[in-house]
């Protein structure tokens, strides 16, 4: 007879794995930002800002002004078109 303790919750394991993978990615991204910021000899507030913004990606050529937006800045407010 199998008890409740022997049943594996695969969805819970998957969520735990995804959380661990995301945590590792964040650690690596922030650590790389810290190393770059420390080599630039910036002030603490600039260092902190660089680390906090490490998840942001640079704009592509297609993202420049004048390009059509995929999403309005504030979708609640009606556009002035």
CA-to-CA dists, residue 5 to 8, 9, 11, angstroms: 8, 10, 16
Which region holds residue 36: left if phi is over 0, alpha if psi is between -120 and 50, else beta? alpha
**Which residue would you say has higher pLDDT here, 47 or 77?**
47
Does residue 78 fall inside a structural domain?
no
List all residues 6 or more positions away from 33 whose beta carbon is below 8 Å from its beta carbon: 50, 51, 53, 54
Does residue 30 fall inside a structural domain?
yes
User: What are the pLDDT digits (tens) for 24-74?
Assistant: 999 999 999 999 999 998 999 999 999 999 988 887 777 666 666 666 676
> Is 70 exceeded by the pLDDT of residue 21?
yes
Does residue 42 fall inside a structural domain?
yes
Q: Considering the entire predicted model, what is its pTM?
A: 0.59
Please tell me the total count of domains within the chain: 1
Which pLDDT band holds residue 5 (cuts at 50, 70, 90)? confident
Could you tell me which of 17, 44, 47, 26 has the C-alpha nearest to residue 35?
47
Cα–Cα distance between 26 and 4 in angstroms, integer?
35
Does residue 81 fall inside a structural domain?
no
- Per the structure, the complete domain to which residue 26 belongs is given by 9-56
Does residue 65 fall inside a structural domain?
no
């Amino acid at each position: 007879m199998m008890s409740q303790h022997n049943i594996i919750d695969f969805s819970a394991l998957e969520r735990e794995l995804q959380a661990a993978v995301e945590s590792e990615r964040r650690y690596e991204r922030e650590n790389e930002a810290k190393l770059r910021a420390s080599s630039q000899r910036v002030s603490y507030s600039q260092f902190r800002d660089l680390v906090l913004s490490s998840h942001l990606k640079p704009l592509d050529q297609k993202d420049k002004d004048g390009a059509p937006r995929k999403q309005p800045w504030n979708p609640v407010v009606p556009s002035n078109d």
